[in-house]
């Protein structure tokens, strides 16, 4: 089977968010997919196989090293990039992915190579009481907190510097009742982006628990900042060590997430 590693939400290698992409000829056992994802040890590894269905061209599933997830933006972008780059899909033609828990996701590529993904919006709802220990685990004052249907907390902090410099207590953060914690603030004056964020998920990600660039988080961040800034088209910068940009267009109950991707490895899986 062909196996690729693609850096998503970036136009240069070793930035953005790396994802493994396994191009399957047919259905595979979920336990085997989980073991492959653990071996790859990226935040997510995607498994893609062709299907013949009226509404979809491929099945898509995503696994972290420890579990299957319901939605993953960067590994979806990486999967589409892999299909275009390997010639499985004509350049620019839409790719319709059937997923188990997030419906049909469509990806297109324009003449510049920019990929656009049509995803469900996941706007956060305000949380009346800040969860116990959250501010202490993050190590910064918390201005406001929301929660979305993906069970992520969206935490507003004072400014862009606070987002960039945050160094949370990961063990304490793992005790917070949430899948992940998105920390965000408006961009500083003169920036090309509109907002910044970082994403921590100690319950599902190994190591320092930080995801470099998170597409699914922008399904919440897009509506969140569209309300705040009064605009439906925004650019987010995820300020991890690798860093990456996500262009977001809010379209009612959907968001279009756009960006670039780069192949850094293309090989053969032998097991």
Catalytic residue list contains 111:
no
- Considering the entire predicted model, what is its pTM? 0.92
Distance CA 21, CA 6 (A): 7
The pLDDT of residue 115 is above 80: yes
What digits encode the pLDDT tens for the residues 123-139? 999 998 889 999 999 99
What digits encode the pLDDT tens for the residues 149-195? 989 999 999 999 999 999 999 999 999 999 999 999 999 888 999 99
From the candidates 39, 44, 125, 136, give the one annotated as an active-site residue: 44
The pLDDT of residue 93 is above 90: no
Of all residues in the chain, the percent with pLDDT exceeding 90 is: 89
Task: Report the pLDDT averaged over residues 93-97.
Answer: 94
What domains appear along the chain, each with residue ranges and CATH number? 2-119+257-268 (3.10.310.10), 125-252 (3.10.310.10)
Of all residues in the chain, the percent with pLDDT exceeding 70 is: 100
Distance CA 27, CA 4 (A): 18
User: How high is the pLDDT of residue 205?
Assistant: 79
User: How high is the pLDDT of residue 254?
Assistant: 96
User: How high is the pLDDT of residue 152?
Assistant: 94
Question: Which residue did the predictor score with more confidence, 207 or 232?
Answer: 232
What digits encode the pLDDT tens for the residues 26-53? 999 999 999 999 999 998 999 999 999 9
């Amino acid at each position: 089977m062909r196996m690729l590693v693609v850096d998503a939400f970036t136009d240069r290698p070793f930035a953005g968010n790396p994802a493994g992409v396994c191009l399957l000829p047919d259905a595979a056992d979920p336990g085997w997919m989980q073991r492959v994802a653990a071996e790859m040890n990226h935040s997510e590894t995607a498994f893609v196989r062709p299907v013949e269905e009226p509404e979809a061209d491929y099945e898509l599933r995503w696994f972290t090293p420890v579990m299957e997830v319901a939605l993953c933006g960067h590994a979806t972008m990486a999967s589409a990039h892999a299909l275009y780059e390997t010639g499985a899909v004509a350049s620019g033609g839409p790719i319709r992915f059937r997923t188990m828990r997030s419906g049909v996701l469509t990806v297109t590529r324009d003449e510049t190579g920019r990929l656009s993904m049509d995803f469900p919006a996941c706007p956060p709802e305000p949380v009346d009481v800040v969860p116990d220990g959250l501010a202490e685990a993050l190590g910064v004052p918390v201005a406001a907190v929301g929660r979305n249907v993906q069970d992520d907390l969206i935490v507003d902090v004072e400014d862009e510097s606070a987002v960039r410099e945050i160094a949370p207590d990961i063990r304490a953060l793992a005790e917070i009742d949430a899948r992940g914690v998105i920390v965000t603030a408006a961009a500083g004056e003169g920036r090309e982006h509109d907002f910044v964020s970082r994403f921590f998920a100690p319950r599902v990600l190994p190591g320092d628990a930080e995801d470099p660039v998170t597409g699914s988080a922008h399904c919440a961040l897009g509506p969140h900042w569209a309300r705040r800034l009064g605009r439906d088209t925004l650019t987010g910068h995820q300020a991890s060590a690798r860093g990456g940009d996500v262009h977001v267009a809010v379209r009612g109950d959907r968001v279009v997430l756009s960006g670039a991707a780069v192949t850094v490895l293309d090989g053969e899986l032998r097991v």
